[in-house]
Structure formats: C-alpha cells, structure tokens
Amino acid sequence: MLLREKIQAAIAAAQGDVDVAAMNVSVLLSEEAGLSDGGWFDGDEELAVELAARDAQLEAEIAQSGSSRKS
C-alpha cells in the first residue's frame, strides 16, 4: 500500500474527528518514516504517550506470541 493510501485510511478511520485524524497521521508518519526519531514531534506529549502505548502493546503481543510457541 502506498504511503498516500495509508494516510487516506488513517484520516478515514477518524470518522471526521480532526484531532483523531491528526493523531492517526502523526503515528503513521512516525512508524513509516521515523519522523519521531528526527525530532519532528518533540514536545508533543500526547503523541509520545500514544506511541509509548503502541510500543507496549506490540511488546506484549510479541511476548505472548513467544510464550504460546513454547506451549
């Protein structure tokens, strides 16, 4: 999927809520283009919390996946 299509999907998922759309696009740009690593989102505490929550969720899913393979 092209980045433009992913951005369109992120905006559509917000169902008209511009705050949610902005967060969705910011998260997408952070994940796809690594913009948070370049300081683009410095000072955006709300985005930092969202990214940390997503990282924690991903780590939990990986841990659970690894433990289910051992069973």
Per-residue pLDDT, averaged over 27-56, amounts to 93
The pLDDT of residue 1 is 87
- Cβ–Cβ < 8 Å for 51, 30: yes
pTM assigned to the model: 0.79
46-49 long-range Cβ contacts below 8 angstroms, 24+ apart: 47/23
Number of domains in the chain: 1
Q: pLDDT confidence of 37, banded at 50, 70, 90?
A: confident
Greater model confidence, 53 or 36 = 53
Higher-confidence residue of 7 and 70: namely 7
Mean pLDDT of 3-21: 97
Q: Which domain holds residue 8?
A: 3-70
Q: What is the mean pLDDT of the chain?
A: 92
